[in-house]
């Protein structure tokens, strides 16, 4: 055997045997590691509490009515819805009893009259009102009342002021809302007629002395009626008994105004005429739902009359009026 053959035998045969052996299996790949769980989110910080709201400022009082005390007249201020300030003298009777409802008398002076002046010459302090009632003397804007051509107030503005006064009185005192009365002189006398026209729900009776009855004093009225007492001098040189024009504006004759009010009050159209002391002619309308009385003072002019004593006559008329007793005094 040659060396070549021997080498082939020795080495070639082993290689062939090795070539016939099965290859070793490939190792299985290691499984992929499971993903690590996502870390839990950190808790959100607790929200900071909102700061507590500041307390709202206390509303300004609508008036200084708490200053009013029995037996001492006091100037009271009233804050109007537009922020303006108005005022009135409030005189609470010294015999005020909080357990007994008190009537209210509102007094209105003429043009350029201050409440102080009207309070002085009207002399309601010498009448039964001083012992029974809360008497209030409001101050007009520029000392005038709505309805007159020279007044700053527009229709309804002073009426609304009167309502505020009564509501503030009711907050402080025990008032009788069925016995709210109004009396006035000249421009104030015209205004109380205007007041009873616009606010008959509020007013239980009115007295007008030497009134200036500018239109629309008796027009566009609410449907209710109000007991009415009108006093006018036949010789009135300013607001003439038979009407006229003043400040370039017409005003009604006193008899015509009273007659129209009597019809509104459900009275018979023809008054009963009676002569009284102090040269007074009384025109009393019968059959009324609410009283209507007219006094013509035959020899007097534009005055708050002392003979007859109109303050006492006015209070005597008003004190018997009560909204719960319609027609009781007619």
Domain 65-320 has CATH 3.40.50.1820: yes
| 213-232 average pLDDT score | 93
pLDDT of residue 255: 98
Closest C-alpha to 108, from 198, 177, 211, 201: 211
Q: How many percent of the chain have pLDDT more than 70?
A: 82
Per-residue pLDDT tens digits for 156-178: 999 999 999 999 999 999 999 99
CB atoms near residue 156 (< 10 Å): 12
pLDDT of residue 325: 62
| Dihedral over Cα of 125, 279, 191, 247: its sign | negative
Residue 138 has pLDDT above 90, yes or no: yes
Q: How confident is the model at residue 281 (pLDDT cuts 50, 70, 90)?
A: very high
Q: How confident is the model at residue 327 (pLDDT cuts 50, 70, 90)?
A: very low
Per-residue pLDDT tens digits for 87-101: 999 999 999 999 999
Q: How confident is the model at residue 71 (pLDDT cuts 50, 70, 90)?
A: very high
Chain-wide mean pLDDT for the chain? 89
Rounded-to-integer distance, Cα 130 and Cα 148, Å: 30
Residue 223 has pLDDT above 80, yes or no: yes
With tokens 């007629």, the residue in question is 193
Q: What is the DSSP letter of 10?
A: I
The pTM assigned to this predicted structure is: 0.81
pLDDT of residue 16: 45
Report phi then psi at 28, rounded to 5: -70, 135
Q: How confident is the model at residue 320 (pLDDT cuts 50, 70, 90)?
A: very high
Residue 310 has pLDDT above 60, yes or no: yes
Closest C-alpha to 216, from 155, 153, 262, 161: 155
Output the CA–CA distances (angstroms, integers) from residue 252 to 54, 215, 256, 258, 312, in the order listed: 58, 7, 7, 10, 26
pLDDT of residue 10: 46
Please give the residue that has the higher pLDDT: either 37 or 249.
Answer: 249
């Amino acid at each position: 055997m040659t060396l070549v053959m021997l080498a082939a035998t020795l080495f070639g045969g082993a290689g062939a045997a090795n070539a016939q052996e099965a290859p070793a299996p490939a190792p299985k790949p290691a499984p992929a590691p499971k993903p690590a769980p996502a870390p839990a989110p950190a808790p959100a910080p607790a929200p900071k509490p909102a700061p507590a709201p500041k307390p709202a400022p206390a509303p300004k009082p609508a008036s200084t009515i708490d200053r009013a005390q029995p037996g001492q007249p006091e100037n009271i201020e009233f804050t109007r819805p537009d922020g303006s300030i108005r005022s009135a003298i409030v005189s609470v009777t010294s015999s005020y009893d909080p357990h007994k409802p008190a009537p209210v008398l509102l007094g209105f002076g003429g043009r350029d009259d201050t409440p102080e002046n009207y309070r002085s010459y009207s002399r309601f302090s010498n009448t039964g009102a001083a012992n029974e009632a809360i008497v209030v003397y409001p101050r007009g804007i520029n000392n005038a009342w709505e309805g007159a051509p020279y007044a700053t107030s527009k229709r309804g503005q002073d009426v609304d002021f009167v309502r505020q006064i009564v509501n503030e009185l009711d907050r402080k005192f025990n008032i009788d809302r069925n016995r709210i009365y109004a009396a006035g002189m000249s421009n104030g006398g015209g205004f109380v007629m205007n007041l009873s026209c616009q606010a008959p729900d509020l007013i239980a009776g009115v007295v007008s002395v030497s009134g200036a009855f500018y239109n629309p004093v008796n027009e566009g009225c609410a449907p209710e009626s109000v007991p009415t007492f009108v006093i006018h001098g036949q010789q009135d040189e300013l607001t003439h008994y038979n009407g006229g024009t003043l400040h370039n504006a017409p005003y009604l004759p006193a008899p015509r105004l009273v007659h129209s009010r009597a019809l509104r009050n459900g009275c018979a159209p023809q008054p009963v005429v009676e002569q009284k002391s102090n040269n007074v002619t009384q025109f009393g309308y019968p059959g009324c739902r609410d009283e209507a009385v007219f006094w013509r003072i035959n020899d007097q002019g534009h005055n708050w009359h002392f003979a007859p004593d109109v303050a006492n006559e006015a209070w005597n008329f008003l004190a018997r009026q009560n909204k719960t007793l319609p027609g009781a005094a007619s």
